[in-house]
Amino acid sequence: MNFEDAYNDIVLEESVIEMNVSCEFDGIDLFELSTLVEVTEDITTTNNKIFFVITNWIDYSLENPWYFLVIAKSNEIDMDLTSMGETETYTTSLIVEIQQDWSLDDLYAVAIIQSIDNKKVLQVSQVQYQEISADNLIYVTPDAVLQNYPNPFNPSTAISFELNTEINQNTELLIYNLIGQKIKDFTNHQITQSPNHQIIWNGTDNNSRPVSSGIYFALLKQDNQILASRKMVLMK
């Protein structure tokens, strides 16, 4: 069975999902994904969910017989659309560290609507990485220096940055895990103002739960633009 063909058969069916994608580049790519969903006969109950993935097609192997690799996945969002013709927009952000051996022609951003009850895929829409309009791409230049010490760390690390402009109310520091899920965010009110801008991250998520060992990314954003990124390693 060719799973790539089977997958594409689902994707190529007429979908009620209008998907928009933009990317910001700074050594790593932040995918801002947005979908407009319209209720059809397939989507009429409260027992549906929507989630987003970034996939890359790869060669068959015993380790991965599915031909595609999910390299980032969002949290699942319960949908409460019930009236025929009703619409709703769902959004998420996923972070991906592009690898040199990937075929960018086979990199896709995908939105999936699935039944909670029987796991049936109801609607799928995808956008190819290479087909994203150049008008939607935001190329950023380094406007900040972002560091953390110690790195690797356990149990906490000091994340500091130098900024060419004044810190403002739209300045935020975000922590993502390796599969692209945002696990922690710090607002400008939590960032030390002087003499150095700094945050102490104690290896917990937004619910104060300890995260597991692994690779994490710190992203510094201001006015919705990525200024700098930093790879961090938590070792327990």
CATH code assigned at 228: 2.60.40.770
* Contact assessment for residue 196 and residue 160, using Cβ atoms and an 8 Å cutoff: yes
State how far the Cα of 96 lies from the Cα of 138, in Å rounded to an integer: 15
Which comes out higher in pLDDT, residue 54 or 59? 54
State the average pLDDT over residues 185-212: 87
Q: Is the pLDDT of residue 193 over 80?
A: no
Enter the pTM of the model.
0.61
- The reply to whether 93 and 174 lie within a common domain is no
Instruction: Work out how many domains the chain is built from and give that number.
Output: 2
* Domain boundary, last residue among 103, 137, 171: 137
State how far the Cα of 220 lies from the Cα of 174, in Å rounded to an integer: 7
The per-residue pLDDT for 144 is 75
- Taking alpha carbons only, the member of 65, 37, 40, 39 closest to residue 51 is 37
The per-residue pLDDT for 149 is 92
- The reply to whether 132 and 86 lie within a common domain is yes
CATH number of the domain residue 63 falls in: 2.60.40.10
Boundaries of domain holding 206: 140-234
Average pLDDT over all residues of the chain:
77
The per-residue pLDDT for 154 is 93
Q: Which residue has the tokens 């006969």?
A: 41
* Band of residue 187 on the pLDDT scale cut at 50, 70, 90: confident
